[in-house]
Amino acid sequence: MTPYALDARAWQESWDRQQEAYLPDREHRFAALLDAAEAATDARPLQLLDLAGGTGSISLRALARHPDAQVTVLDLDPVLLTIAEASLSGRATVVTADLNRADWPEALPHRAYDAVLTATALHWLDGPRLAELYREIRDVLRPGGVLVNADHMPDDALPTLTTRLSDRARQRRAARHQAGAALSWEGWWAQAAADPVLAPLVDKRQQIYPTGHSPEWTPPAGWHLDALRAAGFTEAGVLWRNGSDAAVAALR
C-alpha cells in the first residue's frame, strides 16, 4: 500500500475556502497588503515577514507576484505551519514563535524587513500586548519599511450600519455552511484531526490553544492608529476597509 502523504495543495485550498466564508473579500485585502509592501520600497528582492501567517497565505501570494522575494512565515500553530512548510517547500523560511512573548524576533532570520504583513490574526492578542507588539514590529522593519495589519476593526463612527452589515454577513455564511459550500472553523479542525499526518499535530495544537481559538479582542481602527503612533511609526492610517474589517498601515 502507498504510504499516505500530506497533500499540501488540497489543505491550502480547503483553508482558503474555510477562511473566505468568513472573509468574502479576503483576496482584496491580501492585494492591498501586497500593493503597500511593493510601494514602500523600490528595492528588490523584497524582504517580507508574514506575521501569524498560518498556512502561509500571504507568502504564497507574495511569491506569485515576486518569485525572488525573501519571505519569512512566523506562527505558533504546528498544524498550519506544517501545511505552510509543505506548500512553500524551500521558497520561504518558516519559523515557530509566540507573539505573546517579547523574544519572538529572535526566531527571525532578518531584522530589517521591507514589510511586515499580517491578516486576521492579531485579534488573538489582548490590547496591552498588541500595543507592545507594534513597538517590536517597528524594530524589525528597516527605516521606511511598512507594517500592514488587516483584521476585524469596526468603524466606531458607523456603529448601526456596521452591526447590520455584520448580521447580514453572518446570515450568508450560515447559509453557505448549511449548504456545504465551505467548512466552518470547527469543521475544518475536525477534518484536520481526521488526517493521519495532521492528527498528532492537532493534539499538540490543543495544548497550545486549549480553547481552540482566541479572546477575539477587536477594537476600532482608531485604537490601532493611536497604538501605532505611540509605537513610534512616522505615518499611520487606514489603507483599506470593508464593513467591520479594515487594514491599517504604518511606516517606520
Ligand X SMILES: C[S@@+](CC[C@H](N)C(=O)[O-])C[C@H]1O[C@@H](n2cnc3c(N)ncnc32)[C@H](O)[C@@H]1O
Among 9, 10, 27, 100, the residue binding ligand X under the rule CB under 6 A is 100
Query: E-strand spans in the chain?
Result: 47-51, 70-75, 92-96, 113-119, 141-152, 235-242, 245-251
Which of 47, 57, 59, 87 is in the footprint of ligand X by CB under 6 A?
57
Query: By CB under 6 A, is residue 77 in contact with ligand X?
Result: yes
Site map 7..46 versus ligand X, x via CB under 6 A = ------------x---------------------------
* Residue 198 is a binding residue for ligand X (CB under 6 A): no
For helices 221-230 and 127-139, the axis angle rounded to 10 degrees is 50
Q: Does 147 bind ligand X (CB under 6 A)?
A: no
Nearer to ligand X, 57 or 70 (CB): 57
117-136 residues near ligand X, rule: CB under 6 A? 119-121, 124
Q: How far apart are the C-alpha atoms of 182 and 25, rounded to whole Å?
A: 15
Tell me the helices (H) and strands (E) count for the chain, helix number first: 9, 7
The residues that touch ligand X, with contacts defined as CB under 6 A, are 19, 52-55, 57, 75-77, 80, 98-100, 119-121, 124
